[in-house]
Structure 1
Amino acid sequence: MGITINPDERNFVKIGAILGIIGTLLYIFASAIHGNPPIEEAETLLPFLADSTLWREVHLANIAAIFLWLASFIILTSLLSNKIAIIWSKVANSFMIMTCGVFALYFHIHSFALPLLATKWVSADEETYGSIVIETNATLTMLGTTAFISQAMLGLSIILYGIVLLFVPVLKRWLAYLGIIAGLGWLIGAIIIDFSIIVRFTVLAWIWVFLVCTLLLLNMRSTIH
């Protein structure tokens, strides 16, 4: 990333890029398995969760994917030499750390609280059924209040990393603009509460991270004499 490349730094670039690629593939895999579950109402969600076998693992995989992104970004930006890029990377990394905290909390509640309620629902009698439904709807309401915050923060994080790339000459400038566009669309989708927009620009962000990391790996290979 606009880097003074010596053998030790080349190894760190490889590690950072590989972590970014693994995180992206894990994010895609987890999202594909997750699909579009009926999370609007407790009455439809609880039976779905009772029959689900990978709900917890999928959400934990989502958390792992975002933390892999964080590790990748921190490693790669630590090798920057351009002073303006370094300043922007500090802002981006700080914001991404906060984003990961919110994102992890959101998906952790998904992965543990909701399956626990579904387990209670399976064995519930008439007296406790209503309270479990109420508790589940309350949990869904709480998740709804944090869902779009976490998505907005991820979008803004991608924008910041796209800005960093504007000052990284080793990569093509269009990659910076692609990242900014992906993050901006993601952010707008979260602000207007439209998951269809979020999904489209999340996919674009996946492509962007994968491209950046792949091109960095190829660039490292081209510097080996």
Structure 2
Amino acid sequence: MEASLALLQDPAAWAALATLVAMEIVLGIDNLIFISILTNKLPEAMREKARKIGISLALVMRLGLLATIAFIVKLTAPVFTILDQGLSWRDIILIAGGAFLVWKATREIHHHVSADEDAEEGGTAKAVQSFASAIGQILVLDLVFSIDSIITAVGMTEHVQIMFVAVIAAVMAMLFAATPLANFINRNPTIVMLALAFLMMIGMTLVAEGLGTHVPKGYIYTAMAFSAAVEGLNMLARQRRQRRRSGQAH
């Protein structure tokens, strides 16, 4: 109790908390994009429930990992070596999770391209996914992103109380943003393809990290922000063209 009160009076602790919350929110974007795309394939009545369950699982998983932080730190110790490259359990999890993300994004891109081709030919292509399948896939990626998130938090502060508050704040922000983001992605087909490209890039980054090649997160998120800004300009241009056509039609 005294330690917590001391942290409340320490400006450095507040600065660490603000930095960590911002970092956790940024890291949560990857998780949120995946959840949004996956739940949008469910029947509309199930989407909100699936998003809440998926994000709640992310919170439970992160808090559970924080409770076993001594074990999490040990995950970074090499367990075996392949071609002079030491691999830890964290590396193995990142490689497996990254490969799964690349596979999933590739499959979704193929589905969207096939759906467009079927639509041009007059047919229909509708994704069918069960609720359990969606939750299972979300759970797998929650685990990968949670381990990456907690290890990042451990590297930024030694105070577990700050980590707990930062994780809860970040997941609450994810919960608040989940439905608006999912609806925005669902309304804009080009955004879906862009988001899938982001997921593929994130998956490759996770694999690279697992193989010992550090990719600065700033580069990744700067590229994502730039691509999103360009797509935003394209959407604005399309809206203006549609308004002009509507005005000419009247």
Scaled to the shorter chain, the TM-score interval is: 0.3 to 0.5
Q: Which has the higher contact order (CA 8 A, sep 6+)?
A: 2
